[in-house]
A = this chain, B = another copy of it.
Amino acid sequence: MSGTPAHSLADTEPSFPVEPWAIRETELNRAALAVTESVFALGNGHIGMRGTLDEGEPRAVPGTYLNGFFEERPLPHAEAGYGFPESGQTVLNVTDGKLIRLLVSDTPLDLNYGTVLAHERVLDLRSGLLVRRSEWLSPNGHSVRVRSQRLVSFTRRSIAAICYEVEPLDADLYIAIQSDLLANEPLTDGMPSDPRAAAALKSPLHNELADCGDLGAVLVHRTERSQLRMAAGMDHEFDVPEKVATSLEAAGDLARLTIAARLPKGSRLRLVKYLAYGWSSRRSASALRDQVEGGLATAKLAGWDVLAQEQRDFLDRHWEAADIEIDGDPELQQAVRFATFHVLQAGARAEEQPIPAKGLTGPGYDGHAFWDSETFVLPVLTYTAPRAVCDALKWRHSTIELARERADMLMQAGAAFPWRTIRGEECSGYWPAGTAAFHVNADIADATVRYLNATEDEVFDADHGAELLIATARLWASLGHFNGDRAFRITGVTGPDEYTAIVDDNIYTNLMAQRNLRAGADAAERQPEVAERREVTVEEIESWRAAAEAMTIPYDEGLGVHQQSEGFTHHAEWDFEGTTPEQYPLLLHFPYFDIYRKQVIKQADLVLAMHLRGDAFTAEEKTRNFAYYEARTVRDSSLSAATQAVIAAEVGHLQLAYDYWGEAALGDLHNLHHNSHHGLHIASLAGAWTVAVAGFGGMRDHDARLSFAPRLPPGISGLRFRLQFRGRGLQVRIEPEQATYVLRSGAPLTVWHHGEELEVTADAPVSRPLPPLPEVEPVDQPAGKRPRRRTARS
């Protein structure tokens, strides 16, 4: 996917004290507001809420999102071409329910004015709450303490809630609280630059219904082009020490509960706001209203404490099953937990909606899902929250008819899934780095194979999995061809590295397609009913296996390395010495034609193939290839560092792997890509887990085997991670001299440790020594691109 320009809003790096289970802001950093809104975003895969302050302002990029809810917009082309999509899809900032404004005496609480006496926000990774405390002295001399706790429920998909408390600090006070549902908030940032597209997204929600009761209200809105309907509802409970007056109004784009109260010094007003969201392309306005009011009724019945307890219980179970523990690097420990927490938020309850590149934490990339989901996010969830993977793949499967139509439009067989989308239609406006990146189809197949292997979910296979594998195998068979030498070639496509486009025999694409073709053949044989329904013949299965067998794997005999694509290693070298730091990311400062034709790599491509298709390379090849491509990879994509870490660890560059681990895990906390204000990099955060498990754990899942090759980076004295695999709970403990495999639940399991087969049973953890590290020549990066050196600190 293409990069986003560095943005002034976001160039300040926020700073959070190191602690194991929380991300804490200890003072209000206005310059970093946009980034902290992303960092403090809450979500459950269905609802996403950026970490905007309760009172709504100051703010940078306001955002509340419902997964799958979008507006269409024109995709203009200076010169149109056959098959170019003419319509795009953009995630919408929906009705904002988190707004609670406070009037202190006659002055609105706004941290831009008055004096901030104290301020703290904490994202608590165990409770799942965003907790905020501010003490504020108004310009006219009144001081208050505000405390809020916000949650987006993991257990109740449509529910969010806020517990809001106000306390006068030094005198009795009259206050007014206004709790809003507000639609069509004006956006100042993140709008498309094309004026027609921007126009389509200005006030995109059209009110259809506004209802209110005593303390609750519902607004139903509809989009004009995508014709989707959404409802947002709120209800309230409050405790107040003295006299109070409330009023409620709901009309058009605003529903508002106003509470006017007198608060004696030392007393406290407590308001609980329950929120429910729903959307549909088919259900009526009144049906949606009833749906959210029903959700509100049960949430209110449960009450705040129960919602908060459910949230903690859910997370306790999650950490119990999936926590990663690092001894010797507390900063990284914090970052890895933050990362996996956000991956969980993005995917936990997506439920047949996509997992977008930014999750639901911001409007970046228009809210689109890419290959990131299947390649970087689902592998994490496969071993930590497999139910979410099932849902995510069912979403892909739900778009298979659109993918068949797209393949048909592209004159290919099978299904061609989109490069970027929300609902399933191709939304890429630049085909050389969009439609041509057909590897997304093999990535979907790979995620399917991995999920099936890790769960043995036969129902999913019969209903969805086999069909995904067959449709994508069919695509590869038609995309490729046998050349005169009977080699199977896939020409004219773009691999993961978007600094090299429209090439022949991209090695990543070919190796993933090879696996896809074989998996499609296996699936057709395993699920004969599906195969029959899809009219797969024995000859077709044979042709898939033959294509896989004859797949072209480009290799440069002279250099002794594989070629990322045919001819790649014969291209001109990039002038890294002559490239200034300000000229990165390159795509914003150099023309595509010049980037494409030189040996400069945006992100791991062949190196990613060596991870996901490590079975196709020898150890020596991996070492040589890694050195060659490492020197030409600039990491202009956040998707790269974790993969480089995995292979660095495998071939023996443990310090480098450690450095990249830091880069992947801290990418958003340190705003390393200068665009975290538009949302977090979910795939890169997933990489924080991947480096631990596949990098230092050496975990691979080729050919239905679960193998490990544990190592520890310098200075780290221990690393422990937990996986779910075929109904078992497995823990791997890595210490400097040995690794221990512990079966925490389930039947005995066979795993591999540095090539040695082990049987792990519930009553007998198995320990094995770590073999000596292979000797390896140092590698280098392009000038100026060496990663920040990481040193362990206890």
Within 8 A of B (CB), among A58-116: 75-85, 88
A194 interfacial contact with B, CB 8 Å: yes
Distance (Å) between the CB of A595 and the closest chain B CB?
A: 9
Chain A positions 558 through 580: 1 when the CB is less than 8 Å from some CB of chain B, otherwise 0: 10000000110011100000000
Residues of B with C-beta under 8 A to A584? none
Q: How far is the CB of A217 from chain B (nearest CB, A)?
A: 39
Contact of A492 among B410, B489, B597 (CB under 8 A): B597
Q: Kindly identify which residue among B194, B429, B590, B593 contacts A436, using a CB–CB cutoff of 8 Å.
A: B593
Query: Chain B CB within 10 Å — which of A75, A195, A411, A587 has the most?
Result: A411
* Residues of chain A in range 426-445 having any CB-CB distance to chain B below 8 Å: 428-432, 434-436
Of all chain B residues, which has the CB nearest A436? Answer: B593
In the complex, chain B residues whose CB is within 8 Å of the CB of A88: 78
| Contact status A80-B492, CB under 8 Å | no
Partner of A593, one of B77, B85, B492: B492
Shortest Cβ distance from A481 into B: residue: B572
Complex: A410 Cα to B435 Cα, angstroms? 25
**A79 touches which one: B83, B429, B481, B504 (CB < 8 A)?**
B429
Within 8 A of B (CB), among A455-482: 481
Known: A195-B196, A567-B566. A435 touches B79 (CB 8 A): no
Residue of B429, B567, B571, B593 touching A502 (CB-CB under 8 A): B593
Q: With an 8 A cutoff between CB atoms, is A794 at the interface?
A: no
- How many Å lie between the Cα of A435 and that of B79 in the bound state? 13
Alpha-carbon distance between A410 and B592 when the two chains are bound, in angstroms: 9
Residue from B193, B484, B593 in contact with A435 in the complex, judged by beta carbons closer than 8 Å: B593
Residues on B with C-beta less than 8 A from A618 are: none
State whether A587 and B81 are in contact (beta carbons under 8 Å apart), knowing that A431-B593, A572-B481 are contacts in the complex: yes
Contacts A504-B597, A593-B436; A430 near B78 (Cβ below 8 A): yes
In the complex, the answer to whether B76 meets A589 with C-beta atoms within 8 Å is no
A738 within 8 A of B: no
Q: Is A2 an interface residue (CB 8 A)?
A: yes
The B-contacting residues of A in range 405-425, CB under 8 angstroms, are 409-412
Question: B429 and A597: CB pair below 8 A?
Answer: no
Contact of A76 among B78, B491, B566, B594 (CB under 8 A): B78
The interface residues of chain B lying within 8 Å CB-to-CB of A594 are 410-412, 492
How far is A369 from B588 in the complex, measured between Cα atoms in Å? 29
Task: Give Cα A537–Cα B488 distance, bound, in whole angstroms.
Answer: 50
Interface centre among A409, A492, A588, A598 (most CB of B within 10 A): A492
Indicate if the CB atoms of B77 and A76 lie closer than 8 Å: yes
CA of A33 to CA of B489, assembled, Å: 50
User: Contact at A80–B436, with CB atoms within 8 Å?
Assistant: no
Q: A410-B591, A492-B597, A493-B593 are in contact. Are A79 and B428 (CB under 8 A)?
A: yes
What is the 8 Å Cβ interface bit string for chain A, positions 480-514, against chain B (1 contact, 0 not)? 01011000010111000000011010000000000
A314 at interface, CB cutoff 8 A: no
List residues of chain B with CB within 8 A of the CB of A78.
75-77, 84-85, 88, 194, 429-430
Q: Which residues of B contact A81 (CB under 8 A)?
A: 430, 587, 591-592
User: Is A596 an interface position by the 8 A CB rule?
Assistant: yes
How many angstroms from the CA of A778 to the CA of B60 in the assembled complex?
A: 71
Closest to A430 in B: B79
Cross-chain contact of A588 among B82, B429, B431 (Cβ < 8 A): B82
Q: Which residue of B lies closest to A583 (CB)?
A: B411
> Given contacts A77-B77, A196-B196, A566-B567, are A82 and B589 in contact (CB under 8 A)?
yes
Q: Report the Cα distance A627→B483, complex, angstroms.
A: 21
Q: Which residues of B contact A566 (CB under 8 A)?
A: 567
Q: Which of A75, A501, A591 gathers the greatest number of chain B CB atoms within 10 Å?
A: A591
Q: Which residues of B contact A80 (CB under 8 A)?
A: 193
A194 contacts which chain B residues (CB < 8 A)? 76-78
Complex: A596 Cα to B436 Cα, angstroms? 11
The answer to whether A2 and B79 touch (CB under 8 A), given A593-B435, A593-B436, is yes
Which residues in B have their C-beta under 8 angstroms from that of A85?
A: 78
Known contacts A76-B77, A193-B80, A430-B79; is-contact A411 B502 (Cβ 8 Å)? no
A479 to nearest B CB, angstroms?
Answer: 9
In the complex, which of the residues B82, B193, B428 contacts A592, with contact meaning CB atoms closer than 8 Å?
Answer: B82
> A481 → chain B, closest Cβ, in Å?
4
Q: Is the CB of A82 within 8 A of B491?
A: no
Closest to A578 in B: B411
Given the complex of chains A and B, what is the CA–CA distance between A570 and B432 in angstroms? Answer: 21
Which residue of chain B has the shortest Cβ distance to A594 in the bound complex? B411
Q: A587 and B504 in contact (CB under 8 A), knowing A491-B571, A566-B567, A594-B492?
A: no
Chain B residues contacting A76 (CB-CB under 8 Å) are 76-78, 194, 196
Decide yes or no: A82 and B2 within 8 Å by CB, A491-B572, A567-B504, A597-B491 being known contacts: no
Specify which chain B residues have a CB less than 8 angstroms from the CB of A77 in the assembled complex. Answer: 76-78, 194, 429-430
A592 to B431, CA, bound (A): 9
Besides A79-B429, A82-B591, 16 other CB < 8 A contacts?
A76-B77, A76-B194, A78-B430, A79-B428, A80-B193, A81-B587, A410-B594, A411-B594, A435-B591, A436-B593, A484-B558, A491-B572, A492-B596, A502-B502, A504-B567, A504-B597
Chain A to chain B: the 3 pairs with minimum beta-carbon distance, closest first: A78-B429, A492-B597, A76-B76
Chain A interface residues (CB < 8 Å from chain B): 2, 75-85, 88, 193-196, 409-412, 428-432, 434-436, 481, 483-484, 489, 491-493, 501-502, 504, 558, 566-567, 570-572, 587-594, 596-598
Q: List 21 A-B contacts (CB under 8 A).
A: A2-B79, A76-B76, A76-B194, A77-B430, A78-B88, A78-B429, A81-B430, A82-B588, A82-B589, A83-B591, A411-B590, A432-B502, A483-B570, A484-B558, A489-B572, A491-B597, A492-B597, A492-B598, A502-B502, A502-B593, A502-B597
